[in-house]
Structure 1
Amino acid sequence: MTSAAFDLAAIGAGLSFAAALDELSAALDASGSVVVTAPPGTGKTTLVPPLLASRSTGRVIITQPRRVAARAAARRLAHLDGSPLGSRVGFTVRGERSAGPETQVEFVTAGVLLRRMLDDPGLDGVDAVILDEVHERALETDLLIGLLSEVRELRDDLVVIAMSATLDAARIAAVIGTDDSPAPIVDHDVPAFPLTVQWAPSPVPRLDERGVTWGFLDHVAAVTASAAVDLVREDPKADVLVFAPGAREVSEIARRVRAASDAFDVRELHGQIPPAEQDAVIRGRTPTDLPRIIVTTSLAESSLTVPGVRLVVDSCLSRHPQRDAGRGMTGLVTTAASRSSCVQRAGRGTRQGPGMVIRCVDERTYAAAPARPVPEIAVIDLADAALLLACWGAPGGIGLRMIDPLPAENLADAITVLRALGAIDDDGRATAEGRVLARIPTDPRLARALRDGSPVVGSRLAAEVVALVGGELRISDADIAQALIALRGGRNPDARRWRDDANRLERMVRETPGIRSDLDGVGLVIALAFPERIAHRVERTAEGATFLLASGTRAGVRGPLAAVEWIAVADVARATARAAAGSGAIIRSAAVLTEAQMEQAASHLMTDRVEAEFVGGRVQARRERRIGAILRSSAPVKASAQEGRDAVRRALRRDGLGMFTWSDTADALRRRLALLRRELGDPWPDVSDAGLVDSLDVWLAPELDRLASGTPAARLDLSSPLRRLLPWPDAVRLDELAPERLEVPSGSRVRITYPEPDGDPHARPVVAVKLQECFGWAETPRLVDGRVPVLFHLLSPAGRPLAVTDDLASFWSGPYSQVRAEMRGRYPRHPWPEDPWAAVPTKHTKNRAAR
């Protein structure tokens, strides 16, 4: 490798970060890891790599979150250095490489470096790694921070620098530093040009259940066209930058702006356009070119510098991956952009002078947006990351210094996926198969489908399907087979990139004799990757169809696939509102699947078993054949004794004891036992609903067998089963501690009503008795060895409550006189003595008592 130094003075001419190079050099003299923060466009991405190359003899690698940014940064540095691209300065991205043995500075995507480290964990020949745009918190960049922290423990000569426009610098410095001291921070700031903010809220909603609305795209295009005319009138050299959430919206807005005016050169900038078109946008325009309107995704937010921009039009929307744990799906979702992202976008208009941003929302909506984007590690599917960490020897990231740990629930789901693929063992370590899958640059499930599908459908078709599904290309009507036809015919603008990806993937699998050129195997390849997304149509309407996935999710689809019975789903996403055919999710891409292919891809999900349920007081059983949650056939059968018992147990745990008819005797016994349990505890049994359900096999075993054999629940008397719970020898005191009845002074034996087992924990036993039967009774009875006083409901001759008391002596001496005054005229045939203490207790009228 050549040791010629870069001319930093020439490269840094006109770049403000040149003033920070001495500070950065001093920081590097003191530490092998540094954090650099500087606004977009100041030149840190251009100047830091050659500075490090001038200080070392090995290669300097700088990562970018996107391919277009890596290519653009390499081309710019090579141009400023005056050297051919691929010599001193080069780049490597997925499917494209321009670098050689003499390359001193290599720009790569984070994913490329991650997989390179699997083959070369010590980074032999590399002296420095620069992680750019760390603030975006892309998952691959977060993983690199963890892996590089471990490499640095073995290689103290390896320099690691984390750079971004906006960054929680202290936090990152603590992670990439050492236990003893954080990494030094070089913070380069420059005065910002004035920014004018205008608000242009849309008269129609921005989003509906299908995504960004056409009406909102019309609004953004109209705002852009009008503002661009005013801008160019003031400054003919100025350009406009429009931010949209994704490639589809970029194309739609650009098409609308072109239709509105031919006075502008309307360009698109996103990851799916050819590299030459990307480079043309980034190079800027000549004085004779038309003013430009560049419609872009978030990649121009901070990764790229687009020269000449004085006006930014912001949709204030962003698209990012998000995992739906409830449905077990991950997909791209469109949401409000974070305020920090919007600030980054607006800053693109003040690079070279005063600028303006027009936000297509109102101020209240903007203020309600999240302050910062959520790190990908918190919301994305972690199967690929978990496999890479397992191959590295740090399952789940154990022992690595990372900004955030992998979320436990998402990690557990990823491990389940990897075990099903045979990619990791029971200890979480990568298997030989897992190491092979990790080196295929796609999701592990798609990598497995590529390997397993090639011998069946041919390596070419398998590679084409995986390249299409893994490349996040636009698919009309969700039909992958039709998308393949368009790509093969070159009618799709993404055809070249797709073909390059497919060629690369095909080279990774062994050629299979008899390669098929038809599309019959498309669904099988997808089903091999995502067997849990095999789907069966359950409803069809005029709007589309609803499918039930093997995972249990219901999802809607419109278009030709609505007429198909079985499909293999590659991408399904939660809808923001009710989706097609009344489902809460939308199928974004799928392919037709035959039943034979379904059985071939998902044999491990197929079950054939008897399902017994306790319904309507009886056990009913059916033999069911399923693939996951999808019912394929069902026929009535007789349940075995064990199946019946299990069904009753499940019903009791689900529905509780209310499924039984409780006799008065059984209910009374249960209430008595509940009071003893409440007051005395063990050994008296827990007869609450939960307690009885937990001890079914102790007290209800014979009855479970009867129910399982067909006896209706209504025929059971639960008195005897409850008595099985009586604790001996303590049970001999049951009637003493909690008697069924209480004898009152009149000689009557009145039933005691005990509290409900799951009711008020302070409720008392109640005796409802006619007032006249208790004349002269001074001491209130107490139960459970004197612990619980009885609560008396003293009744009128007609049985209506006159008083409630647990202190009879106080009642006779006080409130009784008021009761007597009100009742003696209403019930003259019954005794109402002035002195209740001297009266004879009776349950009869005065005449009958006299006889």
Structure 2
Amino acid sequence: MPIAALLPDILASLSAHPRLVLEAPPGAGKTTQVPLALLDAAWLDGRRIVMLEPRRVAARSAAVFMARQLGEDVGGTVGYRIRFESRVSARTRIEVVTEGILTRMLQDDPTLDGVGALLFDEFHERHLAADLGLALARDVQAGLREDLRLVVMSATLDGARLADWLDAPRLSSAGRSFPVAVSHVPPRRDEALEHQIRRVVVEALDTHAGDALVFLPGQREIARCRAQLEAALPADVELLALHGELPVEAQSHVLQPAADGRRRVVLATNVAESSVTLPGVRIVVDSGLAREPRFDPNSGFSRLEVGTISQASADQRAGRAGRVASGVALRLWPESQRLEPQRRPEIAQVDLAALALELAAWGDAALSFPDPPPSGAMGAARDLLRRLGAFDAGETVTPLGRRMLALGTHPRLAAMLLAAGTPEAEALACDLCALVEARDPLRGGARSDALVMRWQALAAFRRGRVRTDVSRSALAAVDTAARQWRRRLRIDAQPADDAPAHALGDLLAHAFPDRIGFRHSRDPQRYSLSNGRMACLFDDSALLGEPWIVASDLRFDARDARLLLGAPVDEASLRRTWPDRFTDADETRWDASRRALVGERVRRFDGIVLDARANGRVDAGQAARALSDAVGELGLEVLPWRDGLRQWQARVLGLRAWMPELDLPDVSDASLLATRDSWLRPAFAGLTRLDALDAGRLSAALEAQLDWSQRSILDRFAPTRVDVPSGMARAITYAVEADGTPAAPVLAVKLQELFGLARTPAIADGRMPLTLHLLSPAGRPLQVTRDLEGFWARTYPDVRKEMKGRYPKHPWPEDPWNAVPTHRAKPRGT
């Protein structure tokens, strides 16, 4: 394999340096040859090599291939561990694991006792778990295991940037490939994907030699295309599918050459993009699509969504046609369509609750990543973990949080699994886990927002009865996943044949405590959610009339969220589970209709107001918060702004932009509204009316955001007035544009006051020239300029000629450079 020539350099590099970035295209052999080559390295000293492989199909395939090279079965020198399956032994020295397994290994034993090297394969896929695993491993190496070797392997990657982040050498290998002719075959008008696939594949098999590999987004598209191709392909062409959910035997069959020499058409997800090798492929048909995770706020989970692939992925897919001989890649999109150069890392686009929990358990939330997690997504993740009970009031992991972490699933589902109090409830929780994670088993005509319908279909499937409006394959996958969860949690109880709908909801509430809903008193289709939002049912909802519900799937709209899937909840269960979230208290709030504060006795469950009755008292201690909330609702314009305060705001914003090194605070309207509790609420102390706040209090509250030294800096570099040659101090006008950017400051001054001044006055340590509004003796604008020298030289002669007759009592010298500046008219008699 092409990587063989580079193996001595890899061994030499790792002998001298503990980290390495290895770039090698698909087919170079890095996945199966590098681990074997490292086995006898002196620095390894008989310890294990752990290789992270992103996909289960690839993990099995790589382990089997390496074991065969050694003449052994899997589980000997080479083994693998994936979710719900393990083939390792005491003799195993190369262990291929999927992403969640590596994270658990690092959390359970940060010293990685007995492990000498960690290999991160296919790192270009930029899965969140791979980023986390590498960040944790780098931290272990820096603090505990200087002898640990880290190798990051990738087919397409910005290797230079990663090597710089890792402070690691970088090696590149050639690939093994033959020429591939790339052409584009865009869809015809209104042509569905499966029809386009049938047309292109049939023509390609007639025109080109070899087997065909068709890249599709997922199982749904594979099934549709398979149905079209089965009727269109000759009988001597074998039609196969390849995806991560296939049984091991089926995967092995696809990855081996056809025993009878028949041609093959393989319909595959992007698992075939770089992780596995398919023999005999000389035709690649690329849909240009992939189903990849995106955070879906509707469900609270990262959902797989179909999207356009990157250019790097397209290049890798095309390269699959050139492994054994010259080939052809047929791209099913117009040649004019441009793709993103690289795929976006998952850390930038998925739910980060699991990551936040892992980091808190690790004890270092500031861990360095190749791409840092977005702060907003991390804040939302921490809020959720507090609701789930995984964090205490701060960000310390609770004992429950550590038990959730050990389950290796999304914290929502882990919280539900751990909340079940009886074996029967635990078995039901496993069913719900499998249902929530799986694709919907109900077909289009049987759509319903009742989760219990899915569970009842699952229970019927187990009894051998499958309705025509459900998918048998989807139910089989759910049943398998539920059985694996029961085995993993050592649950002996068998799933029940029947259960009340609220039994599902009572469990589901532990996964979605932020989505528990209480029916609106005047509109039975609307529900107040515990996160403070509102949700609305469809007209034909199966949940209509339920007093309490929990939503596992929502679609967020501008006004109300729309409930897509949920279950009823028993109030008695809520009171037993979360008694502290049911509260009765006197509250003061802003009544927008009355534009006044009102006092009420309020009963709540979390963020839901169950009942509110006026009590006639306004609590002074709560009034300031309520008035601050009123400003948040009505906007800053309701405050008593003086012109000088808006000028102060514009000065601060201007200086913040012109001299960023001064690190002045953001006092834009948006920032002031967002931070109003810190600066405005104290100004309302002791007040019970919005109009009781005067301009003096507002001014003091705003200006208090700058300390003494910052106020001095503001007066120095963004003064309110500037001295002009006439000896007068003239005001500078500051303003902010509609888009929030500071406008150029303006100095309005009579032209005669600037005689003798050649250079335009500037502020902000000379970085910001003033915009001069040059005025006539009557105060009318003559010229606007930021180039005073150019004005005197080019424009002033024309102005002088026109103005001299109109204002004869004022000086209009021929030489303004040397004239005496004045703010007065000429003395009499001159």
Q: TM-score, normalised by structure 2?
A: 0.69
In structure 2, what is the Cα distance between the partners aligned to 1:140 and 1:569? 27
Counterpart contact for 2:300–2:351, Cα < 8 Å: no
Counterpart contact for 2:217–2:291, Cα < 8 Å: yes
In structure 2, what is the Cα distance between the partners aligned to 1:79 and 1:192? 27
Residue 152 (structure 1) shift? 2.7
Residue 109 (structure 1) shift? 0.4
- Classify 1:143/1:814 alpha carbon distance in 2 versus 1 (closer, same or farther; 3 Å): closer
1:365-396 per-position Cα deviation (integer Å, ceiling 9, x unaligned): x31x322211112222222122223333x321
Aligned AA (2:516): I
Partner of 2:132: 143
In structure 1, what is the Cα distance between the partners aligned to 2:242 and 2:618? 66
- Classify 1:185/1:700 alpha carbon distance in 2 versus 1 (closer, same or farther; 3 Å): closer
| Pair 1:157 & 2:143 matched | no
Partner of 1:396: 365
Say which SS state the counterpart of residue 454 (structure 1) adopts: coil
Aligned AA (1:484): W
Counterpart contact for 2:423–2:493, Cα < 8 Å: no
Further displaced range: 376-385 or 490-499: 490-499
Residue 113 (structure 1) shift? 1.6
Aligned AA (2:531): S
| Pair 1:493 & 2:462 matched | no
In structure 2, what is the Cα distance between the partners aligned to 1:47 and 1:156? 25
| Pair 1:615 & 2:577 matched | no
Q: TM-score, normalised by structure 1?
A: 0.68
Aligned AA (1:502): A
Partner of 1:436: 403
In structure 1, what is the Cα distance between the partners aligned to 2:505 and 2:319? 46
Say which SS state the counterpart of residue 365 (structure 2) adopts: helix
- Classify 1:408/1:675 alpha carbon distance in 2 versus 1 (closer, same or farther; 3 Å): closer
Residue 587 (structure 1) shift? 5.6
1:25 pairs with one of 2, 5, 11: 11
In structure 1, what is the Cα distance between the partners aligned to 2:69 and 2:601? 74
Residue 695 (structure 1) shift? 11
Partner of 1:570: 552
Partner of 1:82: 71
Further displaced range: 252-261 or 350-359: 252-261
- Classify 1:673/1:243 alpha carbon distance in 2 versus 1 (closer, same or farther; 3 Å): closer
2:310 pairs with one of 330, 338, 345: 338
1:775-814 matches, cutoff 5 A: none
Partner of 2:427: 460
Partner of 1:849: none
| Pair 1:229 & 2:229 matched | no
CA RMSD of the aligned region, Å?
5.0
In structure 1, what is the Cα distance between the partners aligned to 2:62 and 2:647? 79
Residue 531 (structure 1) shift? 0.8
Partner of 1:63: 52
In structure 2, what is the Cα distance between the partners aligned to 1:726 and 1:522? 55
Residue 553 (structure 1) shift? 5.3
1:110-189 matches, cutoff 5 A: 110-153=99-142, 154-177=144-167, 182-189=168-175
In structure 2, what is the Cα distance between the partners aligned to 1:483 and 1:335? 28
In structure 1, what is the Cα distance between the partners aligned to 2:10 and 2:644? 81
Counterpart contact for 1:129–1:160, Cα < 8 Å: yes
Partner of 2:783: none
In structure 2, what is the Cα distance between the partners aligned to 1:325 and 1:459? 27
Asked which structure has the greater CA Rg, the reply is: 1
1:140-289 matches, cutoff 5 A: 140-153=129-142, 154-177=144-167, 182-190=168-176, 192-201=178-187, 203-204=189-190, 219-235=192-208, 238-258=210-230, 260-261=232-233, 263=235, 264-289=237-262
Counterpart contact for 2:600–2:614, Cα < 8 Å: yes
In structure 1, what is the Cα distance between the partners aligned to 2:95 and 2:648? 79
1:717-754 per-position Cα deviation (integer Å, ceiling 9, x unaligned): x9xx8899999xxxxxxxxxxxxxxxxxxxxxxxxxxx
Counterpart contact for 1:254–1:266, Cα < 8 Å: yes
1:376-415 matches, cutoff 5 A: 376-392=346-362, 394-398=363-367, 401-415=368-382
In structure 1, what is the Cα distance between the partners aligned to 2:648 and 2:34? 79
1:267-291 per-position Cα deviation (integer Å, ceiling 9, x unaligned): 33222232322222222423454x4
Residue 647 (structure 1) shift? 4.9
2:385 pairs with one of 418, 438, 443: 418
| Pair 1:296 & 2:268 matched | yes
Residue 231 (structure 1) shift? 2.3
Counterpart contact for 2:180–2:321, Cα < 8 Å: no
Partner of 1:655: 634
Residue 227 (structure 1) shift? 2.0
| Pair 1:550 & 2:530 matched | yes
In structure 1, what is the Cα distance between the partners aligned to 2:23 and 2:98? 20
Aligned AA (2:513): P
Partner of 2:730: none
Partner of 1:732: none
Counterpart contact for 1:59–1:128, Cα < 8 Å: yes
Say which SS state the counterpart of residue 396 (structure 1) adopts: coil
1:296-343 per-position Cα deviation (integer Å, ceiling 9, x unaligned): 222222122222323333332233323367997643333322222222
- Classify 1:71/1:637 alpha carbon distance in 2 versus 1 (closer, same or farther; 3 Å): same
Aligned residue pairs, count: 680
Partner of 2:566: 590
In structure 2, what is the Cα distance between the partners aligned to 1:726 and 1:102? 75
Partner of 1:502: 482
Counterpart contact for 1:239–1:293, Cα < 8 Å: yes
- Classify 1:790/1:184 alpha carbon distance in 2 versus 1 (closer, same or farther; 3 Å): closer
Counterpart contact for 2:583–2:604, Cα < 8 Å: yes
Residue 467 (structure 1) shift? 3.4
The answer for unaligned runs of 5 or more in structure 1 is 1-14, 205-217, 679-688, 728-754, 765-788, 794-810, 817-836, 838-851
- Identity between Structure 1 and Structure 2 (%): 31
1:217-237 per-position Cα deviation (integer Å, ceiling 9, x unaligned): x6221222122222222446x
- Classify 1:557/1:676 alpha carbon distance in 2 versus 1 (closer, same or farther; 3 Å): closer
In structure 1, what is the Cα distance between the partners aligned to 2:630 and 2:543? 37
- Classify 1:285/1:346 alpha carbon distance in 2 versus 1 (closer, same or farther; 3 Å): same
1:373 pairs with one of 343, 352, 375: 343
In structure 2, what is the Cα distance between the partners aligned to 1:467 and 1:43? 36
Partner of 2:454: 483
- Classify 1:459/1:328 alpha carbon distance in 2 versus 1 (closer, same or farther; 3 Å): closer
Counterpart contact for 1:241–1:293, Cα < 8 Å: yes
- Classify 1:654/1:294 alpha carbon distance in 2 versus 1 (closer, same or farther; 3 Å): same
Say which SS state the counterpart of residue 102 (structure 1) adopts: coil
Counterpart contact for 2:298–2:554, Cα < 8 Å: no
1:646-665 per-position Cα deviation (integer Å, ceiling 9, x unaligned): 655644564369879x9xxx
In structure 2, what is the Cα distance between the partners aligned to 1:700 and 1:430? 37
Aligned AA (2:550): A
The answer for unaligned runs of 5 or more in structure 2 is 467-471, 651-668, 701-732, 738-742, 749-775, 781-802, 809-827
In structure 1, what is the Cα distance between the partners aligned to 2:298 and 2:288? 28
